[in-house]
Structure 1
Amino acid sequence: MHRRGGQQPGLRRAPPGRPPDRGAAGVTRQLTADPYPLLARLRATEPVSWRPELDGWLVTRHDLALRVMRDAATFTVDDPRFSTARVVGPSMLSLEAAEHTRHRAPFARHFRPREIEDRFAGFVRAECARLVDGFAAAGRAELRRELAGPLSVAVVAEALGLADTDTARVLAWYDAIVSTVDDISAGRPPGSGGAEAFGELRAHLEGSVGRRSLLTEAATALELPEVVSNAAVLMFGGIETTEGMIANLLRHLLREPSPPDRARLPAAIEESLRLEPAAAVVDRYATRDVSLAGASIARGDLVTVSLTAANRDPAVFANPDVFDPGRPDLRKQLAFAHGPHFCLGADLARLEARIAVETVFDRLPGIALESDVAPSGLVFRKPAAVPARWLPS
């Protein structure tokens, strides 16, 4: 591809010699509903391609995705257009280098695997049992909204010291903030709902700092507004992507002919993450002119990494469209991103997913999908519903 001309960042059009893509809306629909054929074609023929529907470059090959995510000096999140930062302020999600480390380190020590197991396993088991027992006698349930979503909210509330806050209220704050981020990402003027919700959340989080939560120690290293911004980011990731991860995993396992072997469940979780990452893309911005796989990327350009495409790269994963928990090298999947912005809550999300599946298959005999709803979503991918039935007790 050719380098595009001298427009300001964010106002760039198709590269010289290329007409505007009048099918952009159709491509967006395809990337939302069934992106795999298009992503496979781009990965094979143009692994770094200019996409007018994104107003940026799309990276679809596994090795190139790793290169972009590892090179924070060239491909950064620290850009004034970064949508989440415009709503909640600077945080570990939108900072680089020493400032990123300063914001991340006070939280990171609480997300080591052993600490996650010791602190959260009992709570997650009790919450999964409570949720499943609440609908077990009915013989059917929609597992995304009745299990995956409420569990994700409950764990985030517990971690942030909001356990005494009504779940519906936490979700209302979250939905308003996400809606505002979506408006900014789509170029629409944001409404006031996100700022108002963040103000309420900030007040509750500030009141939670003295309680036993992830915020307590962070408050000794960061200013209070910084603690709150990072807590909002943890809420964003802990609800949206964890709900999607659990919903996708349940769908994959319920499509299999037999219940999962508990010993192989960790591999099934990794394979589900590979096949359908809940976060489909991550965004970066070029800090300098750079060539990537023949594409001339200009300073300031948006560079979007498709985790969905990278995770189905046949150069890394044989028969990539098949759910196969026995495949080797599952840890090469990139569902939690890579590099300095690797997902802080990855092991907590894995813990929630494992215990949710164990609880479902232990307590709901004969469980099966009532209908199969495929995942969808441009940025976050999950099924709209996971309807299931079983033999009621």
Structure 2
Amino acid sequence: MIEQLTADPYPLLARLRATEPVAWLPELDGWLVTRHDLALRVMRDAAAFTVDDPRFSTARVVGPSMLSLDGGEHTRHRTPFARHFRPREIEDRFAGFVRAECARLVDGFAAAGRAELRRALAGPLSVAVVAGALGLDDTDTARVLAWYDAIVSTVDDISAGRPPGSRGGEAFGELRAHIEGAVGRRSLLTEAAETLALPEVVSNAAVLMFGGIETTEGMIANVLLHLLREPAPLDRALVPAAIEESLRLEPAAAVVDRYATRDVSLAGASITRGDLVTVSLTAANRDPAVFPDPDVFDPRRPNLRRQLAFAHGPHFCLGADLARLETRIAVETVLDRLPGLALAEPAAASGLVFRKPAAVHARWLTS
């Protein structure tokens, strides 16, 4: 079953959603929630379903942070960073840099007539943006991506019940050293260090980088793959809607974990205090009760903002608007600068916790 959930989870998730929307999966040693309304209920109710548990996979790699704390501690960890992610500040602070970086990256490979867009564009862009925000501009892009490949692999191992290897811990050790060195520079980290202890700054910075790199790279790669599979070119005016539809169809973060703080009944399932409750964002986003023809890519859906790719409730993704900005500008740059863009090789997203294609090979016309 782990292999199914990693490679092609949709038939299994659809069957569970229809017959057992809160199902106990021994392979996960926990409950899997697959219905949209139940997913919202779990994510909104931090009193009954918490992230604050020593088993929380990401915390086991990077330590306690806003991602793995609830209540007052969650607020204390999140607040020093939150004010920097308001929509107006994101547009003013990042839009010019993102446009210039996208143009630089695309111009660097445009003459070749083909490229692998995940690691030639999506990955380097996401690294550049988050590294600049956190004062890590001098860190090599390939090195950062290697750290995150290792950390993601470790989180996947933990989520799948496999013993984690040492790569994730070693990668985080290197990352921690770089983050600690950046605290003294003028960045988000400098202000956070005024209210948080250094290990807390490091853990939260790692989480911001984790989301800002891993899931944003996946988000850009997924939407490019969806667009390149379409037979007709996309109307540029539909780019923002196409991004939302791609998020619905293939969220870069496939699941979020919670732990029951008390015995609770959910859709007929008797959940016991301490049980792992995993919300499948992938399944919730394909709930036909909310999204008719859920397996079809349709940017003209009227209710796209009901997708849950950025989670919901107190742990709604802090960088959602920044990720949308990066993805929109990346897609617009590709459409503007690469005429006749087409998929060069078949590809599909995969991953148990984080879903994206291993590669997006594309080709286009050159003059």
TM-score class, shorter-chain normalisation, is over 0.9
Q: Equivalent of 1:105, from 69, 76, 79?
A: 79
Q: Could you report, residue by residue, the CA deviation over 1:354-380 in whole angstroms, capped at 9, with x for unpaired residues?
A: 010011010001111112312111111
The structure with the larger Rg is 1
Aligned length: 367
Q: Secondary structure at the match of 1:321?
A: coil
Q: Distance between the aligned counterparts of 1:358 and 1:216, measured in 2?
A: 33
Q: Distance between the aligned counterparts of 2:87 and 2:103, measured in 1?
A: 22
Q: Equivalent of 2:257, from 283, 287, 298?
A: 283
Equivalent residues of 2:50, 2:70 under 8 A apart: yes
Q: Distance between the aligned counterparts of 1:252 and 1:76, measured in 2?
A: 34
**1:158 maps to which residue?**
132
Structure 2 CA distance for partners of 1:188 and 1:309, relative to 1, 3 Å: closer
Equivalent residues of 2:148, 2:214 under 8 A apart: no
Q: Which shows bigger deviation, 207-216 or 285-294?
A: 207-216
* Gapped regions of structure 1 (runs ≥ 5): 1-26
Structure 2 CA distance for partners of 1:212 and 1:244, relative to 1, 3 Å: same
How many Å apart are 1:208 and its aligned residue?
A: 1.2
Q: Equivalent of 1:60, from 22, 34, 37?
A: 34
How many Å apart are 1:303 and its aligned residue?
A: 0.5
How many Å apart are 1:188 and its aligned residue?
A: 4.0
Are 1:50 and 2:24 matched, yes or no?
A: yes
Are 1:115 and 2:89 matched, yes or no?
A: yes
How many Å apart are 1:312 and its aligned residue?
A: 0.6
Equivalent residues of 2:262, 2:272 under 8 A apart: yes
Q: Equivalent of 2:284, from 300, 306, 310?
A: 310
Q: Distance between the aligned counterparts of 1:72 and 1:186, measured in 2?
A: 24
Are 1:131 and 2:131 matched, yes or no?
A: no
**2:332 maps to which residue?**
358
| TM-score of the aligned structures, taking structure 1 as reference length | 0.90
Q: Secondary structure at the match of 2:115?
A: strand
Q: Distance between the aligned counterparts of 1:296 and 1:282, measured in 2?
A: 20
Q: Secondary structure at the match of 1:270?
A: helix
Q: Secondary structure at the match of 2:142?
A: helix
Are 1:196 and 2:170 matched, yes or no?
A: yes
Structure 2 CA distance for partners of 1:224 and 1:128, relative to 1, 3 Å: same
Equivalent residue runs for 1:65-80 within 5 Å = 65-80=39-54
Return the letter of the residue paired with 1:341.
Answer: H
**1:347 maps to which residue?**
321
**2:312 maps to which residue?**
338
Q: Which shows bigger deviation, 100-109 or 379-388?
A: 379-388
Structure 2 CA distance for partners of 1:29 and 1:236, relative to 1, 3 Å: same
Q: Distance between the aligned counterparts of 1:51 and 1:200, measured in 2?
A: 35
Shift >6 Å, 4+ stretches: none
Q: Secondary structure at the match of 1:49?
A: strand
Are 1:295 and 2:300 matched, yes or no?
A: no
Structure 2 CA distance for partners of 1:176 and 1:30, relative to 1, 3 Å: closer
How many Å apart are 1:292 and its aligned residue?
A: 0.3
Q: Distance between the aligned counterparts of 2:312 and 2:4, measured in 1?
A: 26
Q: Distance between the aligned counterparts of 2:243 and 2:171, measured in 1?
A: 33
Q: Which shows bigger deviation, 63-72 or 32-41?
A: 32-41
**1:89 maps to which residue?**
63
User: Kindly, what percent of the aligned residue pairs are identical?
Assistant: 89
Equivalent residues of 2:28, 2:161 under 8 A apart: no
Q: Distance between the aligned counterparts of 1:79 and 1:179, measured in 2?
A: 21
Q: Which shows bigger deviation, 305-314 or 81-90?
A: 81-90
Q: Secondary structure at the match of 1:322?
A: coil
Are 1:377 and 2:351 matched, yes or no?
A: yes
Q: Equivalent of 1:323, from 297, 302, 314?
A: 297
Q: Distance between the aligned counterparts of 2:345 and 2:165, measured in 1?
A: 37
* Gapped regions of structure 2 (runs ≥ 5): none
**1:34 maps to which residue?**
8
Are 1:261 and 2:238 matched, yes or no?
A: no
Q: Distance between the aligned counterparts of 2:182 and 2:280, measured in 1?
A: 36
Q: Distance between the aligned counterparts of 2:92 and 2:243, measured in 1?
A: 20
Q: Secondary structure at the match of 2:23?
A: strand
Q: Distance between the aligned counterparts of 1:301 and 1:352, measured in 2?
A: 37
How many Å apart are 1:200 and its aligned residue?
A: 2.5
Q: Distance between the aligned counterparts of 1:181 and 1:40, measured in 2?
A: 25
Equivalent residues of 2:35, 2:287 under 8 A apart: yes
Equivalent residues of 2:27, 2:160 under 8 A apart: no
